[in-house]
Amino acid sequence: MTELFTIMTRKGQITVPASFRKSLGLRQGDHLALSLGEHGTEIVMRRVHSPIAATYGQVTTGPRPADLSALRDQVAEEVGREVAAEGLSAATRP
């Protein structure tokens, strides 16, 4: 097992040695999981993959309507028709 030494700062930060970063393929912004080892006297670090980052860009959106106000008007008209139809059916019930 390769062992390198680093120093913890006042804020609890450490530098992961370049050879470790290269071996793990770590880059700025990568997520790491830290856990205590079996006897609680060592720290185990592993790279974790975010499901969000892994699936980003997989779903594409449809084209955006050119005129949003026209779309709002269409929705308002349709809702108005549905409400009017419900009012008529309620009025014809005994």
pLDDT 10s digits, 51-84: 776 677 777 777 777 788 888 899 999 999 988 8
For the domain covering 1-57, report its CATH number: 2.10.260.10
Q: What is residue 10's predicted lDDT score, i.e. its pLDDT? A: 96
Q: What is residue 85's predicted lDDT score, i.e. its pLDDT? A: 83
Helices and strands of the chain, counted as H and E runs: 3, 2
Is the whole model's pTM more than 0.75, yes or no? no
pLDDT band at 9 (very low <50, low <70, confident <90, very high): very high
**How many whole angstroms separate alpha carbon 1 and alpha carbon 19?**
13
pLDDT 10s digits, 31-49: 888 899 888 888 888 888 8
Q: Where are the domains of the chain?
A: 1-57, 64-94
**How many whole angstroms separate alpha carbon 12 and alpha carbon 34?**
13
The alpha-carbon radius of gyration of the chain (Å, integer) is: 29
Burial class of 26 by CB neighbour count within 10 A (0 to 12, 13 to 18, 19+): middle
Q: What is residue 16's predicted lDDT score, i.e. its pLDDT? A: 92
